[in-house]
Amino acid sequence: MLDKKATDVLILHVAKLTSVADYLVLGSADSDRQTRAIADHVDGVLSQTGSGALSIEGKASSQWVLMDFGDVVVHVFRQDARHHYGLERLWADARHVPIPGQEPPPPMMVRKPVPRTGTRTAKRA
């Protein structure tokens, strides 16, 4: 991912939280074209090692590409889609796996609901 300039790359160890996968790998791209290029690169590199993807979804639109490698699920997002879906918030209890040579990404902002201060009532004339 980093070879194709993916940003905000994050590895989450989710084995204790789900039976679907042991690790989630998240990365962001600035455009649909870059999202596809990152996904193609990841698939190509892992296929050469004999670990081809079991399934790849989302390459047609390239806003969010999901690649299932069995114990590892890779998500490549366009920046706006990643922020919208907020998988970091969904998997907040997962352990972050450090990536050698990379600073840990800042936590995503979680919007807190604004409490309502009063209720609106309609006035009758």
Location of structure tokens 């940003």: 7
Does residue 51 or residue 125 have the better pLDDT? 51
Task: Please tell me the predicted confidence (pLDDT) of residue 111.
Answer: 43
Q: Is residue 18 part of a domain?
A: yes
Domain coverage including residue 74: 2-97
Strands laid side by side in the 7-13 sheet? 55-57, 64-68, 72-78, 23-29, 7-13, 95-97
CATH code of residue 45: 3.30.460.10
Closest CA to 99 of 34, 7, 4: 7
**pTM (2 d.p.):** 0.77
Q: What is the mean pLDDT of the chain?
A: 82
Is residue 14 assigned to a domain?
A: yes
